[in-house]
Structure 1
């Protein structure tokens, strides 16, 4: 299974990615092993979705990174209207 995940930090910054091990990947983000999230505080998972294959997960990741996808994340997830998970 491949997980598409949305991370949020205390400054309400968003990071979107995909991995086959979300716990390991979150630890990498929080230990500053990822340049794009390094030095931006602790991250927590705000949303995640699982997919059977990487190509489907990559399409969803791309959709979430679009302006419409980011607007959905901000309006639904960050405002607490959707389940956090």
Structure 2
């Protein structure tokens, strides 16, 4: 099964903007509650598949979307770790 990654945000405005941009790029995403292990100013995160990581990075960078970071699940399933900010 493919690993799911999560983008966390400091503001709802940036989360909604990222959602629109990623959907426009036809990247399969899910809106996901920000896990309590991730300290962020927004309760909404975006989940996407590992195979879309490079395209997501490019969109975030080119469109200047402000994110808290991109997170992946720990191998033991106990939480999340930041893979980039």
- TM-score bracket for this pair, using the shorter chain length: 0.3 to 0.5
Q: Compare relative contact order (CA 8 Å, sep 6+) and give the higher one, 1 or 2.
A: 2
Q: TM-score, normalised by structure 1?
A: 0.36
Q: Which has the higher helix share?
A: 1
Q: TM-score, normalised by structure 2?
A: 0.36
